[in-house]
Amino acid sequence: AQSVTQLGSHVSVSEGALVLLRCNYSSSVPPYLFWYVQYPNQGLQLLLKYTTGATLVKGINGFEAEFKKSETSFHLTKPSAHMSDAAEYFCAVIPNTGGFKTIFGAGTRLFVKA
């Protein structure tokens, strides 16, 4: 069965430092890949997604992610963290089999220190 692994349930960075949130998926066929962000007591918001084409995907708020098929990874990065980036981040996949079921990773809570 398809699964999504986010390494690190909590990540803490200083303001201005690089943000790196890790995501690996298990699938022999590359799925649709997503990163969502969730602020407290709110729904999820799409940061970026990969379907086909260019493997480096740029999203909102300065985030980007690179699809690496050989590593089955889709890590999320941001060059310089801002206090407002503190939130929960979910990596998610939809298997490329024509369905709509989304499989979420367990989430990574990002803390940003002043």
The number of CA neighbours under 13 Å toward the Cβ of 89 is: 32
Q: Looking only at residues 8 through 37 of this chain, which bind other proteins when binding is defined by CB under 8 A?
A: 32, 34, 36
In which region does residue 111 sit, left (phi positive, over 0), alpha (psi from -120 to 50) or beta (all else)? Answer: beta
Torsion region of 58: left, alpha or beta (phi above 0 gives left; psi -120 to 50 gives alpha): beta
Give the range of 16-24, 54-62, 65-73, 103-111 binding other proteins by CB under 8 A: 103-111
Using the rule CB under 8 A, give the single segment among 16-24, 60-68, 79-87, 100-108 that binds other proteins.
Answer: 100-108
The yes or no reply on residue 51 touching other proteins (CB under 8 A) is: yes
Task: Name the site residues for other proteins (rule: CB under 8 A).
Answer: 32, 34, 36, 41-46, 49, 51, 90, 94, 100-102, 104-107, 109
